[in-house]
Structure formats: C-alpha cells, structure tokens
C-alpha cells in the first residue's frame, strides 16, 4: 500500500521532538518550503531565461534579469520575514546580518542563517545547486534588537538545519536533532513528499570528493590521504573512486546516500579554506552527525568551533565515520 506523507504533515507530527515547540518551527519550515518552490521554478526556467536574456542582461521586455543568488536571497528573506517568527537573518549574500524589525516580529525567538544558492558556478551549466539553512534560538532578550552574538552561536546550538538540492529532482533534507529525513518535490502538484526516512550514512564508503586541482597547495596530511585513497589494497577496497561536483550540497547529498568523504582543506595562503562555518559547514555538520557521520576541520569537531565573525571560513572534512577518522589520522603527521 502507498504511504504518502507530506513535508508539512511530517514537521507537525514530529515537532514534539524539540523542547518548548509551539508549532513555530513548522511555520518557519513553511517559509523555507515556499521560497524553495519559487527557486525551483526559477532554476527550471533557466534555459528559457537564456532565450529571453542572460542573468545581468535585459530580457526581451527590457527587464533586467536577476542573478539566481540575488533572486533566492530575496525570496528566502521575504518568506522568512513575513511570518513574524524570525527576528533576523544572516546570509552569505549580505555583508551584515539583517534585523526584521516590525511590530510583527516583536518577541520572535528565532534567527536564520542561509546560503541561498550553493554551487552557483554550476547554475549556467545545468548542474545541481542547493540552498543551505540553519535555525537558532536568539540569545539576546526578545524585546531588544537582534545582535551579532545571536548569529555567532556554536553549531551545537542549532535548533534545525537542512538543505534543498535542486538536482534531477528537487529534495529538501532536514534535521531538528532527532535524525535526518528527506522529502522529494513533485512539481506537478507543488508538494514535498517524505521519500527518505531516517537517513544514515554508511560507516565507510568508497567515494572521496576533493578539488584535486588544488593538490599542490594542500597540507601534507591531505596530500597523503589522497594518495591513500588512490592506493591499491583489495582488503580495504581501495582505490576509492573520485567524485567532485563543485556544489557542496550535491557532493554532500551523494556521499550521504552512498558513503564517502568530502574535503575542502586549507590551502596555500588560505589557512581557513574556502567554506563558510555559519552558512555551510555548521548546518552540514549537524546533518552529518545526525545521520551517523563525522564533521571536523581535520582536527576538531566543527560544531564545537566558537564563531568569531559572520563570514568566517574553516577547513572541512565531512562524511562516513571511518573515512573521516582515517583522514584525521593523516592530519596528525
Ligand atoms: P557558493 O556557490 O555558495 O559560493 O559555494 C561554492 C562552494 C561549494 O559549494 C563548493 O563545494 C565549493 O565552493 C567549490 O569550490 P572550488 O571550485 O574551489 O572547488
Ligand atoms: Mn556555498
Ligand atoms: Mn552561495
């Protein structure tokens, strides 16, 4: 028998998992769902947009085409501020955090951090991109303006985190700290269905994902680990296979389903690597741990890092437990 359940229903059914839940989080998910559907629509007409004008150019009606990052940022902001539950947002696309400051937001408890389009270099070439989000309870008093400190909480404080992957189908994957569940979008009726219940990453995998073009700039430990992945050793099923899309969300999603490790290490001149702690690594690390995997900066747990600034970067090692633990061993040398 078919067992259909929608994302909206699932969130409501499971809201007892988070302390003090009053249905607010399900409304925040409502906002994320709505904005993601708008982005889905926009991404899927990217080919048509090419006919009527490239992003940044005028289209046939003389209107300026918005870049997808800007479009997505605006839609998530608009949807999240409209419900009065989120008092502030920080986005990879904005220099500073934004305070939602209307009577509607008085007393609202949550803040959201977002990477509206992750993997944006892949937009124009029909390759999967995503949106990453992270939700925290504010720590400043509800009747005061939202503060930087509200956004600089450790990843362990996340109330919920997730991503939307705009791939061959669109999926939303999220956690509130009691497992990870995935929902597949049916665009014909505009509904996300539960398709992947209680997702778990295999303890070990065969996939390593790293931009090997930067090999010469990597720390010695990472170079040695890459060589380890490439060695012939039937006992441990090596060599592993290399897969790298260049969209963190897409690389992560594949490794979550199949087992694997994703690495974006520090590289020459960039001791903190490229990926952003607050918009990318913390939410992905929360999901990974909830799915049974590990997320570290090569030495310590990502979720324990004390953020110092909004756009802070960190080296990132995430994936199947055995693989990340092994990679960390190489970092000790
Ligand atoms: P964004 O599009 O949000 O700036 O993120 C791009 C990130 C991430 O998605 C991906 O894993 C990484 O950049 C790829 O970087 P390289 O091209 O340096 O490999
Ligand atoms: Mn990104
Ligand atoms: Mn981005």
Domain ranges of the chain: 7-196, 207-331
Cα–Cα distance measured from residue 264 to residue 118, given in angstroms and rounded to the nearest whole number = 14
Nearest CA to ligand 1 atom 17: 246
What is the chain's alpha carbon radius of gyration, rounded to the nearest angstrom?
A: 20
242: pLDDT strictly greater than 70: yes
Share of residues in the chain with pLDDT > 90 (%): 80
Place of tokens 């000790």: 332
Q: What pLDDT sits at residue 103?
A: 82
Mean pLDDT of the chain: 92
Ligand nearest to the CA of 76: 3
137: pLDDT strictly greater than 50: yes
Q: Which residues surround ligand 3, an ion (CB under 5 A)?
A: 92, 115, 117-118
Cross-strand partners of 186: 191
Cross-strand partners of 99: 88
Nearest CA to ligand 1 atom 2: 119
Structure tokens at 156: 């362990």
Structure tokens at 289: 């741990």
Q: What is the pLDDT of residues 4-30, one digit of tens each?
A: 999 999 998 887 766 566 688 889 999
DSSP 28-57: HHHHHHHHHHHHHHHHHTHHHHHHH--TTS
Distance 151 CA to ligand 3 centre (A): 18
Structure tokens at 103: 């009577």
State the closest ligand 1 atom to the C-alpha of 115, by its place in the atom list counted from 1.
3
Q: What is the pLDDT of residues 62-84, one digit of tens each?
A: 555 568 889 999 999 999 999 88
Distance 316 CA to ligand 1 centre (A): 12
Query: Would you identify the CATH topology of the domain 207-331?
Result: D-Maltodextrin-Binding Protein; domain 2 (3.40.190)
Q: Which CATH architecture has domain 7-196?
A: 2-Layer Sandwich (3.30)
Q: What pLDDT sits at residue 48?
A: 63
Average pLDDT over residues 41-46: 85
Neighbours of 74 (CB within 10 A): 15
Helix 220-230, helix 321-331: angle, nearest 10: 130
Q: What does the DSSP 8-state code read for residue 66?
A: P
Nearest CA to ligand 1 atom 15: 246
Residues 155 and 290: beta-carbon distance below 8 Å: no
Cα–Cα distance measured from residue 284 to residue 40, given in angstroms and rounded to the nearest whole number = 21
Structure tokens at 88: 């502030």
Structure tokens at 293: 């995997």
Nearest CA to ligand 1 atom 12: 246
Cα-based distances in Å from 155 to 18, 181, 239, 247: 16, 19, 34, 21
Ligand nearest to the CA of 116: 3
């Amino acid at each position: 028998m078919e067992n259909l359940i929608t994302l909206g229903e699932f969130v409501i059914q499971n809201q007892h998992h988070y302390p003090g839940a009053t249905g607010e989080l399900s409304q925040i998910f409502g906002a994320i769902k709505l904005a993601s559907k708008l982005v889905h629509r926009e991404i899927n007409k990217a080919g048509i947009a090419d006919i009527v004008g490239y992003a940044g150019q005028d289209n046939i009606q003389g209107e300026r085409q918005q870049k997808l990052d800007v479009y997505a940022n605006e839609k998530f902001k608009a949807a999240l501020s409209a419900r009065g539950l989120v008092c502030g947002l920080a986005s990879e696309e904005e220099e500073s955090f934004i305070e939602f400051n209307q009577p509607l937001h008085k007393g609202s408890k949550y803040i959201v951090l977002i990477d509206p389009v992750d993997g944006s270099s892949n937009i124009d070439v029909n390759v999967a991109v995503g949106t990453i989000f992270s939700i925290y309870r504010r720590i400043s008093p509800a009747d005061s303006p939202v503060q930087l400190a509200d956004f600089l909480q450790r990843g362990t404080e996340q109330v919920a985190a997730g991503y939307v992957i705009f791939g061959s189908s669109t999926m939303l994957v999220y956690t509130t700290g009691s497992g990870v569940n995935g929902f597949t979008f049916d665009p014909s009726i505009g509904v996300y269905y539960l398709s992947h219940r209680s997702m778990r990453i295999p303890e070990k995998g065969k996939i390593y994902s790293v931009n090997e073009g930067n090999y010469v700039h990597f720390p010695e430990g990472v170079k040695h680990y890459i060589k380890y992945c490439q060695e012939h050793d039937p006992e441990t099923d090596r060599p592993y296979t290399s897969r790298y899309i260049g969209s963190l969300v897409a690389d992560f999603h594949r490794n979550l389903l199949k087992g694997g490790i994703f690495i974006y290490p520090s590289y020459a001149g960039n001791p903190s690597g490229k990926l952003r702690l607050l918009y990318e690594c913390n939410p992905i690390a929360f999901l990974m741990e909830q799915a049974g995997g590990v997320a570290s900066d090569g030495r310590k747990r990502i979720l324990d890092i004390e953020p110092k600034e909004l756009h802070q970067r960190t080296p990132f090692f995430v994936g199947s437990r055995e693989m990340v633990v092994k990679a960390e061993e190489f970092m000790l040398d």
